[in-house]
Amino acid sequence: MKEIKALCRPNIWRLAAYSCARTEFSGRSATVFLDANENPYNKPFNRYPDPLQQELKQLLAAVKGVPAENIFLGNGSDEAIDLPYRIFCEPGIDNVVAIAPTYGMYEVCADVNNVEYRPVLLDADYRITADKLLGACDAHTKLMWICSPNNPTGNLIDREAIEKVLQMFQGIVIIDEAYSDFANARPFRHELASHPNLIVLNTMSKAWGCAAIRLGMAFASKDIIGLFNKVKYPYNVNALTQRQAIDALKDPFAVDKWVSIIKQERTRVMQAFADLPICKKVYPTEANFFLARVTDAQGIYDYLVDRGIIVRNRTRITLCDDCLRITIGTKSENQELLAALRKL
């Protein structure tokens, strides 16, 4: 791959990051804070949060098996998705490659940043080869997006294909592992030392049950994390989010229990769904949801909405004609869904 400096936008490489008050005294102790124009009353909410989330990163490092210096934290994964465009892609010149169908925010951020987005279709079984992805690249391809397990299809992208891309692609490979806690594969975040062009995304929204606090993470080399920290807003993760995440990370065994229950329910619900007359096919999944092709996705979706049950109609997505994406809920929620569908 090219050196990070060669991939980075020159203006970003030269950028002098904003120096906030809490960064300048970092590493020294203090009890009187008269540096940030804060209100001295209404503690603890009157103080700005740690801009680099050091305590939280130390806990995450232990749980995720990644050094704290290789972790970036953002306002949901969406911030970590947007930043690579701003760091590496010259608007109107560079392009990115992504599998299709996949998570829609990759394309939204490309459009916002005026970067050409090149979707590469999966096959009928939602698989893809490295050669097909690499064939869509040219000298101006800076990023490649691979969601695995993929959303909305639920399947893992072939590991050998990803590894070949990591070896052959001259730009940055971003693997979104938002659903990896529900899969049996080894996460790519453990491969950072072998691949300086790798960014791996993860989130507190799925297995950790913390979608409301909006905390996403990126794992990458120190050089890439340094660029993320240079470009991000100074206080991008608020104090309430940091505190809730710290509390959640202190009980990882609760998450293990949730994941185990969800995976058991996933098997049960998928088997029951496959037996429904409306079901044409249930696709394999390694996520906390599954994709199913049905007789009339829009009609079934409307029927469920009328009964207060919301699933995701993906029929307008490429390769997902008449498909519904169904998240695994509690046992009672899943039963309510199945009971309603059995009455169709």
| Torsion sign, CA atoms 44, 50, 55, 60 | positive
List Cα–Cα distances, 267 to 178, 197, 283, 320, in angstroms: 20, 36, 12, 21
Q: HSE-up of 130 (CA within 13 Å, CB side)?
A: 13
- In the chain, what are the domain boundaries? 4-250, 253-342
> How far is 97 from 82, CA to CA, in rounded Å?
15
Question: Among 175, 191, 185, 218, which residue's Cα sits nearest to residue 69?
Answer: 218
Collect all residues with Cβ–Cβ distance below 8 Å to 17 and sequence separation of at least 6.
229, 230, 231
Does the 4-250 domain belong in CATH 3.50.50.60?
no
* 146, 176 contact by CB (below 8 A): yes
pLDDT digit string (tens) for the chain, length 344 residues? 799 999 999 999 999 988 887 777 766 788 899 999 999 999 999 999 999 999 999 999 999 999 999 999 999 999 999 999 999 999 999 999 999 999 999 999 999 999 999 999 999 999 999 999 999 999 999 999 999 999 999 999 999 999 999 999 999 999 999 999 999 999 999 999 999 999 999 999 999 999 999 999 999 999 999 999 999 999 999 999 999 999 999 999 999 999 999 999 999 999 999 999 999 999 999 999 999 999 999 999 999 999 999 999 999 999 999 999 999 999 999 999 999 999 99
> How far is 159 from 163, CA to CA, in rounded Å?
6
The CATH number that domain 253-342 falls under is 3.90.1150.10
* This prediction's pTM: 0.96
136 burial (CB, 10 Å; 0-12 / 13-18 / 19+) is middle
As given in the structure block, the two tokens for residue 142 are: 């800076």
| Residue 278 DSSP class | T
> How far is 100 from 83, CA to CA, in rounded Å?
21
Question: Among 175, 162, 185, which residue's Cα sits nearest to residue 286?
Answer: 185
- The continuous run of DSSP H or E covering 75 comes out as strand 71-75
| Torsion sign, CA atoms 163, 165, 169, 175 | negative
> How far is 120 from 102, CA to CA, in rounded Å?
10
Q: Report DSSP letters for 182-224, one per residue.
A: GSSSPPGGGGGGG-TTEEEEEESSSTT--GGG-EEEEE--HHH
How many other β-carbons are positioned within 10 Å of the β-carbon of residue 7?
22
* 61, 71 contact by CB (below 8 A): yes
Token pair 């090149």 in the structure block, residue: 118
Token pair 């049905």 in the structure block, residue: 294
| Residue 268 DSSP class | H
pLDDT of amino acid 243? 98
As given in the structure block, the two tokens for residue 110 are: 């490309």
> How far is 43 from 40, CA to CA, in rounded Å?
8
Question: Among 109, 78, 30, 279, which residue's Cα sits nearest to residue 176?
Answer: 78
pLDDT of amino acid 302? 98
